[in-house]
């Protein structure tokens, strides 16, 4: 089966750094995705990790440890527009080419 856990909510201050964790237990693994979703909008792709280590992309970085079933998304120099939900997704699983999504972490950035 598939099980993905992320914190439900986080709050951080503008200009700070925040780390959003994701742990997973899946029957198959071929990569971990992070998506950003603003309220009422579609998710947009942020990052993809398939090998262990850190992937950096501007203010956003994503880390993966396959042996620990663990990933995090790191957001630096937080801006008010970063207030959104961040979705962790793992896939594809052994049952087919599907992503399994976690419940999402709602990040609130305060001035």
Partner 1 sequence: DGGITQSPKYLFRKEGQNVTLSCEQNLNHDAMYWYRQDPGQGLRLIYYSQIVNDFQKGDIAEGYSVSREKKESFPLTVTSAQKNPTAFYLCASSILLGEQFFGPGTRLTVL
Binding site for partner 1 (CB under 8 A): 30, 33, 40-45, 48, 87, 89, 92, 96-104, 106
Q: How far is the CB of 47 from partner 1 (least distance, A)?
A: 9
Nearer to partner 1, 15 or 48 (CB): 48
Tokens coding 86: 């961040």
Question: Rounded to whole angstroms, what are the CA distances from 111 to 13, 73, 83, 84?
Answer: 6, 21, 11, 15
Q: How far is the CB of 15 from partner 1 (least distance, A)?
A: 27
Determine the Cα–Cα distance for residues 15 and 77; give it in Å rounded to an integer: 4
Q: How far is the CB of 36 from partner 1 (least distance, A)?
A: 11
Question: Rounded to whole angstroms, what are the CA distances from 98 to 28, 29, 32, 94, 101?
Answer: 10, 11, 12, 9, 10
Nearer to partner 1, 33 or 63 (CB): 33
Nearer to partner 1, 25 or 44 (CB): 44
């Amino acid at each position: 089966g598939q099980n993905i856990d992320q914190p439900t909510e986080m709050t951080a201050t503008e200009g700070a750094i925040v780390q959003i964790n994701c742990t997973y237990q899946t029957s198959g693994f071929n990569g971990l995705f992070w998506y950003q979703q603003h309220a009422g909008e579609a998710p947009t792709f942020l990052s993809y990790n398939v090998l262990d280590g850190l992937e950096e992309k501007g203010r956003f970085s994503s880390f993966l440890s396959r042996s620990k079933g663990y990933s995090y998304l790191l957001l630096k120099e937080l801006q008010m527009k970063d207030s959104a939900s961040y979705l962790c997704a793992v896939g594809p699983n052994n049952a087919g080419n599907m992503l399994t999504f976690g419940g999402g972490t709602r990040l609130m950035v305060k001035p």
